Amino acid sequence: MLDSSCFMPQKESQRQWYIRNRERLLLKAREYRIQNLEKTIECSKKWVAKNRDHVRQRQRNWYLRNKEEILKDRKQYRAENKDRINAATKKALMESPKRRETRRRIYARYTKNNPVKVKARRILKAAIRKGIVIRPSECSECKISCKPEAHHHKGYSDEYALDVLWVCKKCHWKFHA
């Protein structure tokens, strides 16, 4: 939006009158914009479309002048709303048709290339669901409280499908490193 300095009259007498009546003129302009909101929005959109380069340059200049404060505010907002941001990001990613299709293709390729692993995991999931195997609430290696992952330490064959170590992500990575 244009600032009031754009409308500053050129002659000295007009300039003095404008300075004396600036507040009243701005108030009138504000009232007009409120009363004619749709028309004002339409005119603003036309002006912005016509002067896109000018608008972008002003936005860029404003950003550069306020960059440190903007980055500080963003960092603070992210720290205070971490869970909310993560949930929204995850939801957006999972609801994306492109993302779903990509995940489906990757999983189809993985199941085709690793049928024994997939079968062992399905057997284990079914056993957990039926109550045959109970997932503990802590890692068997470091003893931290978490939702541990199953590590098929003897392999993925049918005879060892239920023989797993329950470890946290960190310890699981250590086994595979």
As averages over each run of 10 residues, the pLDDT of the chain (177 residues) reads 56 85 92 92 93 95 96 94 90 83 92 94 93 93 92 90 92 87
Q: List own/partner pairs for 71-78 with CB under 8 A and 24 or more apart.
A: none
Question: What is the DSSP secondary structure assignment for residue 144, as one 8-state letter?
Answer: -
Residue 12's pLDDT is: 83
Residue 56's pLDDT is: 95
- CA torsion 154-156-161-164 (nearest 10°) is 40
Residue 3's pLDDT is: 52
Residue 106's pLDDT is: 94
Q: At what angle do helices 52-65 and 67-80 cross, to 10 degrees?
A: 80
Cα–Cα dist 47/57, whole Å: 15
Cα–Cα dist 121/161, whole Å: 7
Residue 1's pLDDT is: 47
Residue 162: which residues within 8 A CB-CB, separation 6 or more? 123, 124, 127, 132, 133
How far is it between the farthest Cα atoms of the chain? 97
Cα four-point dihedral sign 24, 30, 34, 40? positive
